[in-house]
Amino acid sequence: MQLKLEHLNKTYTTKRASVTAVKDISLDFPDNAIIGIIGKSGAGKSSLLRLASLLETPDQGEVYYDGVRVDHLPKKELNRRRLEIGMIFQNFNLFSSRTAGKNVAFPLELAGWNRRDIDERVHEMLALVGLEDREKSPIATLSGGQKQRVAIARALAPRPNILFCDEATSALDPQTTHEILDLIKKIHANMNLTVVMITHQMEVVRDACQYVAVIDKGCVVETGAVSDVFRSPKHEITREFLSNIRRSEISVESAIAYLQDNGYEVSKR
């Protein structure tokens, strides 16, 4: 699905103060891309995600899915639209009162699928994320990485055409982060799906995304293809994010492993 944001503005007002979290943000990405939105805490990236995923309505501006305006939809229409939107979260947000399988079944129950189709789809989705043997497992028995896999299966079960990831790997260790990103890339390659990832980790953008928008103080400061932005970062904030990666990856082993993962041949001398 093609996501387009036009001149979005959002201000949150409390009794004490008002904060403009999103200032005149316009973004336009190609169909079925993996898009990274990166920014520091408080940069406005989560607010932007809530606007783009229709959880909140913008004060000004428009959100388009495949050229159709979708902000300010009537309630019924909006709830129907939501079945086309998948979402995963930093804290997984799984239902602890349900098993892994029943979590995946939840959006299908909302969509009114019949029992047999639900069972079949649940098996299919759990197999897709490599947890076919955990269908009956209570959520509390799963590891962080397994929980995020269940969350991905749940988000994608009703066949959405856009997946929003809200800091989806921030609670995971580097190895598990890597596995989850690989899984998202694998799924993306086999489905007709746009992925929008909110993150504060440049590694996530580098390892998984095709396009990136860098957000600072509610504004987009830089946007473009990931390869271009990494080659010639223009904004100071972008450079800061890039230097953070370099600092975190001093070890030669990790650099070699990264190159090998990406299909380069590395000869050790």
Partner 1 sequence: MSPITELVLQSTWETVVMVFFSTLFAVLLGFPLGIFLFVTSPRGIAPKIVPYQLISRIVNTLRSFPFVILMIVMFPLSRVVLGTAIGTEATIIPLSVAAAPFIARLTETALNEVDKGVIQAAVAMGASKRQVVRKVMIPEALPSIISGITLTIITLIGYSAMAGAIGGGGLGDLAIRYGYQRFRTDVMIESVVIIIVMVEVIQFLGNKAAALVAKYPLGSFGRSKKVK
- Would you call 3 exposed, middle or buried from its count of C-beta atoms within 10 A (0-12, 13-18, 19+)? buried
Q: Which string of x and - marks every residue 42-61 that binds partner 1 (by CB under 8 A)?
A: -----------x-x------
Among 14, 116, 140, 231, binds partner 1 (CB under 8 A): 140
Nearer Cβ to partner 1 (21/139)? 139
Give the nearest distance from C-beta 54 to partner 1 in angstroms: 9
The answer to the question of residue 110 lying near partner 1 (CB under 8 A) is yes
> Should residue 131 be labelled a site residue for partner 1 when binding is judged by CB under 8 A?
no
Helices 100-110 and 115-128, axial angle in degrees (round to 10)? 130
Query: Considering only 12-20, 125-133, 137-145, 226-234, which stretch makes contact with partner 1 by CB under 8 A?
Result: 137-145
Q: Does 173 bind partner 1 (CB under 8 A)?
A: no
Q: Tell me the C-alpha to C-alpha distance, in Å, between residue 185 and each of 9, 87, 146.
A: 31, 15, 17
Instruction: Give the helix/strand (H/E) hosting 4.
Output: strand 3-13
User: What's 60's DSSP letter?
Assistant: E
Of 11-19, 138-146, 178-186, 225-233, the segment contacting partner 1 by CB under 8 A is: 138-146
Dmax over Cα atoms in the chain, in whole Å?
64
Q: Which of residues 1-30 bind partner 1 (CB under 8 A)?
A: none
Q: Is residue 106 within the footprint of partner 1 (CB under 8 A)?
A: yes
One DSSP character per residue, 69-124 reads: E-TT--HHHHHHHGGGEEEEETT----TTSBHHHHHHHHHHHTT--HHHHHHHHHH
Contact (Cβ atoms closer than 8 angstroms) between residue 26 and residue 5: yes
Among 111, 219, 242, 256, binds partner 1 (CB under 8 A): 111
Cα–Cα distance measured from residue 100 to residue 129, given in angstroms and rounded to the nearest whole number: 12
Per CB under 8 A, the list member of 93, 227, 243, 248 interacting with partner 1 is: 93
Footprint of partner 1 (CB under 8 A): 53, 55, 78-83, 85, 87, 89-99, 106-107, 109-111, 138-141, 144, 147, 154, 158, 171
